[in-house]
Structure 1
Amino acid sequence: MEYKPRPISRRTLLIGAGAGIAAGSLAACSPGEKKESGAGAGHADFDVVVIGAGVAGLAAARELTDGGKKVVVVEARDRIGGRMFTDRTSMPVPVDLGCEWIHGRDASTWDLVHALKLKTHHDTVIATRERPGGPWKKSVQDDPRPDYKNYRIVGGYDQILAPIAAKLSIRLKTVVKRVEYSSTGVVVTTERQGRPVTYKARAAVVAIPVAVLAADTIEFSPPLPKAKAEIFKSVPQESIHKVIVAFDHSVFPRDSAALSEADVIQDDSTPWYVLGPPQGTPGPKGRVFTALIEGEETTRALALPRERRYAEVLGVIRDFMGDPKLRPVKFLEHEWFKDPFARAPYSKYGIPGEDVIYEPTGNSLYWAGIITESVDTSRDSGMEVGGTVLQRLGEK
């Protein structure tokens, strides 16, 4: 009997239009980078080595640098941002392959948005249709509780990285292999372009995802305390995946921020939504959609051959739009579970013994981010740990 995969659940797939265009990209940013090579390179002393240039690591480095410390950030990727990843080259408009929303008006990242005078948009205009291909009906839906509103930045999320990373010393394409630590300092051994590069410092801040730590890709000497190593491996990972689809023409109703399928293809009590680009976004309109798969469906969908996964997503979009002849011009996805420097999109909060993760180790090893699931909490964690290390080393 031929195996036929179960279609992606409509409860767990959200289709959204891509975000807007921004001037300039931080994808290849490496402020203060120096050419280093050979086993003896990089032996100049630092006050702190920060491992990971995601939001938590950058925030910690920003706090320490502003406090007068000599800091170097080592990052395995060829870009900064970690799981904040705005792709500006693959689609007609930039798309966020990782985090996308500011969650609520209380998020601490609003100071960056205001300082940079960035525009944000909260989706309020909802369009529905009663039959496939039928007319769209529009209504305004808005939650008056500011902590429940999700906002997107017009021009891409990664714009907020500029002031955090400004003038930091960042080494890209630098993969950490070993961390030796003691009460007097750390020695961080990395690999860069096939050559070992070593950094010595009074302290280190580890700011990489817990799934990477659980995979034991970094050797710690002496070994980390058993309780900490075990808690790394016990943290469950959230299942979520995006498939981005581009069309050669607009298929999105004008002047709508979001769509709801209403009774067209609804098979349970949860409505579908299609998100349009934030108002004010330049560039092509209504041509790029992001299919978001969540929960158990993620594992099933990612186990499919890529072509079959794309076909399922396209089928859902065709049903939704009432046009079985819709043909895409391009697909795009980033498989975070296969990304060796992420190994998961994000992790769950509130596990027993979670506080053990953030306990300093050996009076020289500190931990930031690790299991935060939003940009503002990642930044808050980095700033807090940066302040703690600053106090320990003595503020200038």
Structure 2
Amino acid sequence: MEHRLRPLSRRGVLTAAAAGVTTAALAACTKEKDSGDSGSGGGTGDLDVIVIGAGVAGLGAARELTDGGKKVVVVEARDRIGGRMFTDHTSMSVPIEFGCQVIHGAKASTWDLVHKRKLKTHQLTTVATRKQPGDPWERSERQDGGLWDQPPGDIPPEYKNYRVIGGYDQVLVPLADKLSIRLNTVVKRVEYSSTGVVVNAERRGRPVTYKARAVVVAIPVPVLAADTIEFVPPLPAQKVEAFKAVPQDPAMKVIVEFDHPVIPEDADVVQDASVPWWLVNGSKGEPGYKGQIFVVVADSPEDTERLLALPRERRHKEVLDVIRDITGDPGLRPVKVAEHEWAKDPFARGALSPYDVPSADVIYEPNGDTLYWAGIITESVDTSRDHGKKVAAQVLKQLGGR
């Protein structure tokens, strides 16, 4: 079956230290404080900025604003930070990425976070191919791991792909360091005017209110399109229509663990002429790990929609059958199969943020001097963080700051 390989950055392959150390560091960054959250604000009235959403764009904005001397609180609906960067440290023997998978390019702005944490990375380079099951594996070396729709050759630096050993979420630690973050806080209503903003939310079933001079909204566009947050006064019709007009590209990513290598251990990516999916080695480079992690990503929207319409068990069976065919082992059994269904996640409502959206200017247009928009339709970790920083600079200019 022929299929066109698409740029990995559209899917994030959905696209350190030991896991315990990383988890502890993230927990320290996101330690919650119950004081000052109840009633009419409880002392939060002197806030400069409220950031809604602790994904990479929100954290990027909050980091810049805090470093610029502003008093900031980040409110996040989930019980974790990262948004659609979701590293799972517990389901399998090594950390796995339910969301974004790799750093795209040697020049991505993410690298300063990698260097701050002294993290190790693995560049995807080795592609294993064969014409049909049972044939010998052939290897080729590509700077991009064979994940781009172009012939081998000189790969531009921006096309190289790198996986963070020990979990992508480690880059969040310097972003979230010492920020005031309120987890499990679901925003219901945002009141904005020329004098400031009031954010009404629910935190573990009880109402909480935050007041500040400005607010930065940094949540995925499908959530905004679903009208889950009430804005007072109502947003301009043109902006609401722009939210709803952004197309959603379905994505399916199933992660499978085996207790031994089932494809060549040196392979980063498997390409098989009979398989219409990406097959990525998600564990290569993990120190001391004896098994193997398969990251399976459907390529075409049609195939993705078909698979997502299946019950989860049937979807996983189809993925396993494909892996068994590739390996030539019909009795192959996994240790664990897992996925995160982003379309059913109420705080994402989709796995992918599109890019090149014609209405981006309308979406990002601030409402007055108090309501700003960050991320929303960015398509990678570095572009999300960069946009968060860009919007923070606008807010600092308005409020007064560096």
SS of 2:252's partner is strand
CA–CA separation in structure 1 for the residues paired with 2:233 and 2:180: 28
8 A Cα contact 1:249 1:287, kept in partner: yes
The answer as to 2:258 corresponding to 1:247 is yes
CA–CA separation in structure 2 for the residues paired with 1:165 and 1:199: 20
Unaligned segments of structure 2, at least 5 residues? 144-153
Q: Given residue 103 of structure 1, which amino acid in structure 2 is its aligned partner?
A: H
In the alignment, which of 268, 286, 300 is matched to residue 257 of structure 1?
268
TM-fit CA distance, 1:147:
1.6
SS of 1:369's partner is coil
Per the alignment, do residues 200 and 41 of structure 1 end up closer, same or farther by CA in structure 2, a change over 3 Å counting?
A: closer
In the alignment, which of 230, 234, 249 is matched to residue 223 of structure 1?
234
The answer as to 2:346 corresponding to 1:347 is no
**Which has the larger displacement, 382-391 or 119-128?**
119-128
Q: Given residue 63 of structure 2, which amino acid in structure 1 is its aligned partner?
A: R
**Which has the larger displacement, 354-363 or 40-49?**
40-49
RMSD over aligned CA atoms reads 2.5
1:69 is aligned to: 70
C-alpha offsets along residues 73-119 of structure 1, whole Å, 9 cap, x if unaligned? 00000000000000010011110000011111221111212222222
Q: How does 1:188-337 map to 2 (within 5 A)?
A: 188-261=199-272, 265=274, 274-277=279-282, 279-294=284-299, 295-337=301-343
1:360 is aligned to: 366
SS of 1:106's partner is coil
CA–CA separation in structure 2 for the residues paired with 1:179 and 1:211: 18
Q: How does 1:76-155 map to 2 (within 5 A)?
A: 76-142=77-143, 143-155=154-166
Calculate percent identity across the aligned residue pairs: 63
SS of 1:347's partner is coil
Normalising by structure 1, we get a TM-score of 0.89
How many correspondences in the alignment? 380
8 A Cα contact 2:188 2:200, kept in partner: yes
2:33 is aligned to: 34
Per the alignment, do residues 277 and 194 of structure 1 end up closer, same or farther by CA in structure 2, a change over 3 Å counting?
A: closer
8 A Cα contact 2:41 2:211, kept in partner: no
SS of 1:259's partner is strand
Q: Given residue 56 of structure 2, which amino acid in structure 1 is its aligned partner?
A: V
C-alpha offsets along residues 242-283 of structure 1, whole Å, 9 cap, x if unaligned? 11112233213233333332x5x36xxx7x653324653124
8 A Cα contact 1:30 1:79, kept in partner: no
Q: Given residue 67 of structure 1, which amino acid in structure 2 is its aligned partner?
A: G
CA–CA separation in structure 1 for the residues paired with 2:159 and 2:5: 20
SS of 1:337's partner is helix
Per the alignment, do residues 196 and 273 of structure 1 end up closer, same or farther by CA in structure 2, a change over 3 Å counting?
A: closer
SS of 2:279's partner is strand
CA–CA separation in structure 2 for the residues paired with 1:236 and 1:325: 40
Unaligned segments of structure 1, at least 5 residues? 1-7
Per the alignment, do residues 38 and 391 of structure 1 end up closer, same or farther by CA in structure 2, a change over 3 Å counting?
A: closer
Normalising by structure 2, we get a TM-score of 0.88
8 A Cα contact 1:92 1:283, kept in partner: no
8 A Cα contact 2:283 2:293, kept in partner: no
8 A Cα contact 1:179 1:220, kept in partner: yes
Q: Given residue 268 of structure 2, which amino acid in structure 1 is its aligned partner?
A: A
**Which has the larger displacement, 184-193 or 296-305?**
296-305
